[in-house]
Amino acid sequence: MGKTVSEHTVPYVQVLDENGKVTDKELLPNLTDDQLREMMKRMVFTRILDQRAIKLTRQGRLGFYAPVAGQEASMIGSEFATDKEDFVVPGYRDLPQCVYHGYPLYKLFLYSRGHQEGGRVPEDVNVMMPQIIIGAQIVQTAGIALGYKLKGEKHIAITYTGDGGTSQGDFYEGMNFAGAYKAPAVFFVQNNQYAISVPREKQTAAETLAQKAIAAGIPGVQVDGMDILGVYAAVKQAVDRARAGEGPTLIEAVTFRYGPHTMSGDDPTRYRTKETEATWEKRDPLVRFRTYLTEKGLWSDDEEQQVIEAAKDTINEALKQADNAEKMKVEDLIDAMFEEPTTALKRQRAEITGEGAN
Model confidence pTM above 0.85: yes
Residue 48 — pLDDT band, cuts 50, 70, 90? very high
The pLDDT value given to residue 355: 80
Q: Which residues are the active-site residues? A: 257, 261, 271
Taking CA atoms, 78 is separated from 226, 294, 350, in Å, by: 12, 22, 48
Residue spans of alpha helices (H) in the chain: 33-58, 72-80, 95-100, 105-113, 136-151, 169-180, 213-216, 228-243, 274-281, 285-295, 301-323, 330-335, 343-353
The pLDDT value given to residue 340: 92
* Section 145-173 average pLDDT: 97
pLDDT tens readout for residues 265-302: 889 999 999 999 999 999 999 999 999 999 999 999 99
Q: Identify residue 332 by its one-letter amino acid code.
A: D
Residue 9 — pLDDT band, cuts 50, 70, 90? confident
Least confident of 56-70, 84-98, 163-177, 343-357: 343-357
Q: Is the predicted pLDDT of residue 225 greater than 50, yes or no?
A: yes
Q: Please, what is the average pLDDT of the chain?
A: 95
Q: Is the predicted pLDDT of residue 5 greater than 50, yes or no?
A: no
Least confident of 34-43, 196-205, 240-249: 196-205
* Section 169-181 average pLDDT: 97
Q: Is the predicted pLDDT of residue 1 greater than 60, yes or no?
A: no
The secondary structure element, H or E, covering residue 249 is strand 249-254
* Section 157-175 average pLDDT: 96
Residue 358 — pLDDT band, cuts 50, 70, 90? low
The angle at the Cα of 291, spanning 256 to 158, to the nearest 5 degrees, equals 45
- Find, among 34, 36, 41, the residue nearest to 314 by Cα: 41
- Find, among 97, 103, 113, 134, the residue nearest to 64 by Cα: 113
Q: Is the predicted pLDDT of residue 174 greater than 80, yes or no?
A: yes
Cβ neighbours of 115 (radius 10 Å)? 19
Q: Is the predicted pLDDT of residue 7 greater than 60, yes or no?
A: no
* Section 73-95 average pLDDT: 98
Residue 240 — pLDDT band, cuts 50, 70, 90? very high
The pLDDT value given to residue 278: 94
Residue 2 — pLDDT band, cuts 50, 70, 90? low
* Section 259-266 average pLDDT: 91
